[in-house]
Amino acid sequence: MIDAPPEQVFAVLADGWTYSDWVVGTAHIRDVDDAWPRVGSQLHHRAGPWPFSLEDTSTVLLSEPPYRLTLRAELWPAGEAIVAFALEPVEGGRTRIRLGEDFAAGPLLWIRTKINDMVLHQRNKETLRRLSDIATRQKGDQ
């Protein structure tokens, strides 16, 4: 649960330049299309620790502000994943957010295990904690 309304949480999702602040594993945002987060727009990122980081892109597949955003996150040669955010308003100006992430192509899809799922789950819990911190802080700035 995030102590900010869906509009405020989605505003963070809509600011592609903040992704390296809250998406665990994203080391640097290289560029963000002016149209972000419209369908087809991209953000260009670097993920992983230097000097082994990989450069690739994430593309918006679905954008329904302020309630849904779905991305295809690429990180080749490791593969790609579909990442879906669903925001639901909750009484008191809060937001319940659901984050779904599933491998869609590449070696990560082929070697999927329960251990990978547990690591991904923990990573996404931390990602949502960071997103919550930013959205809550921005709510206080208004």
Per residue in 20-57, pLDDT (tens digit) is 999 998 999 999 999 999 999 999 999 888 788 888 99
Residue 52: partners with Cβ closer than 8 Å, 6 or more residues away: none
Q: Given this model, what pLDDT does residue 114 score?
A: 63
Q: Which residues sit opposite 57 in a β-bridge? A: 44
Distance in angstroms (rounded) separating the CA atoms of residues 96 and 89: 6
Secondary structure letter of residue 25 according to DSSP: T
Each residue of 82-138: pLDDT tens digit?
999 999 999 999 999 999 988 888 777 777 666 566 777 888 899 999 999 999 987
- Greatest distance between any 2 Cα atoms in the chain: 46
Q: Given this model, what pLDDT does residue 87 score?
A: 98
Given CATH 3.30.530.20, say whether it is the number of domain 6-141: yes
Distance in angstroms (rounded) separating the CA atoms of residues 8 and 97: 12
Mean pLDDT of 54-70: 96
- Domain boundaries defined on the chain: 6-141
Q: Given this model, what pLDDT does residue 52 score?
A: 81
Residue 108 in tokens: 């990560």
Distance in angstroms (rounded) separating the CA atoms of residues 27 and 19: 9
Residue 115: partners with Cβ closer than 8 Å, 6 or more residues away: none
Mean pLDDT of 62-79: 91
Secondary structure letter of residue 2 according to DSSP: B
pLDDT tops 60 at residue 71: yes
pLDDT tops 60 at residue 16: yes
User: Given pLDDT bands bounded at 50, 70 and 90, which one contains residue 78?
Assistant: confident
Residue 136 in tokens: 């809550």
Q: Given this model, what pLDDT does residue 135 score?
A: 96
